[in-house]
Amino acid sequence: MARALSLRWIPVSVFIFSSSLNFLDRQLLNTLAPLILADFHLNQTGFGFIVSVFSFTYAASSLVVGWLLDRFGVNRAMPVAVTWWSLAATATGFVKGFGGLVACRACLGAGESAVVPAVGKVNGVYLKPSERALGAALNQVGISVGLAAAPLFIGMALHRSWRAPFVLVGMLGFVWIPVWLVVNRRIRPVFASPLPQADSKILFDKNLLWLIASNILWMGGYSLWSNWTTLYLVHVQNITLAQSARYVWIPPLISNLGGFFGGWLSKRWMDRGKAPVASRRKAVWWSAAGYLLTLLLPVAHSAVSATAIISISFFFALAGSVNIYAIPIDLFGAERSGMGIAALVLAYGVLQTAISPLIGYLSDHGLYTSVVWLVVLPAILGAAALQPIGEAKTA
């Protein structure tokens, strides 16, 4: 037991690596969007449609994937998911037309819907309740590393083809599977039973329904900066794709600090005796207040100032997100949290499916101020939607 306690962050770290690969796979499309749109003769509305296709399958698969994770466990379900999304990412580099690109993004969305609930379950069985938001923040480090690493492939895409990075990055997923299987055999779960325990009844829990509503309202900014940073800087600040490589890695890395800030806030209040859900709710309200600084973006007049404001926006989006995604573990326990977190993945997928074409349309027509209001105001409502959520019946 003592040995497991001392080593418990190692399996969490291995899953952080899976998040890096996951988001690097999906971020390549967004980073290389100017090249891909030119190749397929698309505008930003068309790009929004591609993002929506990914998001639709991401959402549609999430509850099934969450049930499979709870039913069969992370060890059996996650290697299948990683194999699936790695093949889809690799295949993207070989598509011959727009239809093939859409099909690959659809398959990628289906496979990648597993990683967020899987990470939540791993955090739940290896980390204390007060540490779980910090675990989610560390996972955001992995996500941000994946997002920030994507611009490193711009040079390869410019000198060879936008297809080459997809093939190379897709193959990296196959490195993760044996690493996780070895680590998990050596370091067993500490704070909860590792036995699968699927329970679809939690989908009708009123607390989860409020949490789903909160996530839909909150995650607009996260979706915006995960998908549109490169296009915003190129089209609004009038810099080239090569020049954008100087800036687009900054917001994801700054967002890491936001994740730790949100995790630190909730841990601080829990250490002082405040209940877990109440602590996370308070942290989200603080994040919502800071998130209002996003409204300054329309007055940014350079790539530097725009990147700074985008980074601040991403910072507070993550500060709230790590707490929202930790609440299902607080409410339902690690063994049944797969379905609960998958419901939040579904909510995010539905949001991104709906909002992406609208963001693309507004961007094509220069209505960037409207885009900012579109993501900021709902976030305040998202914080308010957490208010009716109660604490778990058992601590």
pLDDT tens across the length of the chain (395 residues) = 445 556 778 888 888 888 888 888 888 888 888 899 889 988 888 888 888 898 889 888 888 888 888 788 888 888 899 999 899 999 999 998 888 999 999 999 898 888 888 887 888 778 877 777 677 777 777 877 887 788 889 889 988 899 999 999 888 888 888 888 888 787 776 665 544 555 567 777 899 999 999 999 999 998 898 888 888 898 889 999 889 888 988 998 888 888 889 988 998 999 899 999 999 999 999 999 999 999 999 999 899 999 999 999 999 998 999 899 889 888 877 666 677 888 888 888 889 888 888 888 888 888 888 888 989 999 999 999 999 998 876 43
233 half-sphere exposure, CB direction, 13 A CA radius: 30
The pair of three-digit structure tokens given for residue 157, joined into one six-digit string: 């895409």
Quote the pLDDT of residue 197.
53
Assessment of whether the complete model's pTM goes beyond 0.75: no
147 close to 127: Cβ distance less than 8 angstroms: no
Residue 26 neighbours by CB distance under 10 Å = 22
DSSP at 295:
G
Amino acid identity of 313?
S
Interacting residues of 299 by C-beta distance below 8 A, sequence separation 6+: none
Buried-exposed string 308-322: b where 16+ CB fall within 10 A, e elsewhere: bbbbbbbbbbbbbbb
How far, in Å, CA of 135 to CA of 13, rounded? 9
Domains of the chain, residue spans: 2-384
How far, in Å, CA of 295 to CA of 283, rounded? 20
Interacting residues of 104 by C-beta distance below 8 A, sequence separation 6+: 88, 89, 91, 92, 95
Quote the pLDDT of residue 193.
52
Collapse the DSSP code of 390 into the 3-class scheme (helix H, G, I; strand E, B; otherwise coil) and give the result: coil
CATH of domain 2-384: 1.20.1250.20
How far, in Å, CA of 114 to CA of 78, rounded? 7
348 close to 223: Cβ distance less than 8 angstroms: yes
